[in-house]
Amino acid sequence: ISRIKVILDKKCFECNKFFDDFFVPNLIGVQTLTMSKRIMNEVVCLAEDLNIPIYYQDTDSMHILKSRITELENEYIKKYNKVLRGFDMGQFHPDFDELSGDVISIESYFLNKKNYLRNYMIKNHLIIIFYNLDHHLNLLKILKLNQDLNSVEI
């Protein structure tokens, strides 16, 4: 801080250099994370109130039972007067919407933040879905699966 000015009882700080080399000032990051937590907490708290189990959660996503999504969406509209599902700011969408029918999630491997693998059974067929693993393919070389596979070959 090079100097402090007082203008109309407000202190103004002038900085010559940021505390880090990051492109965005820290305050913008703090405000963004605070708002995203607020949005996420609306959904998480409502799911808890409805006794909907949350199996995995991070800053902007959660894994819940597919059969309970509609119930959560309907209650969210009633409580917050906003649509939960969509692709706009503040809305959510299922990552695995392409799965339909009797889908049973049999196991998940959480390899790193935002990087996971899920195994599903659909009509006795094993479906393996990798989510966002572009940068972590080396982890897959050591991953062992139980379903008729000795290991994953890359």
Q: Is 70 within 8 Å of 64 (Cβ atoms)?
A: no
Q: Are 131 and 116 in contact (CB under 8 A)?
A: yes
Its pTM stands at 0.59
> Residues 43, 84: contact at Cβ < 8 Å?
yes
- In the three-class reduction of DSSP (H, G, I as helix; E, B as strand; rest coil), residue 71 is classed as helix
Could you report the per-residue pLDDT of 25-55, keeping only the tens digit for each?
Answer: 778 888 888 888 898 999 999 999 999 998 8
Contact 149, 137 (CB under 8 A): no
Q: Write the pLDDT tens digit of every residue in 53-101.
A: 988 787 777 888 888 989 999 999 999 999 998 888 888 877 666 556 6
Q: Are 79 and 30 in contact (CB under 8 A)?
A: no
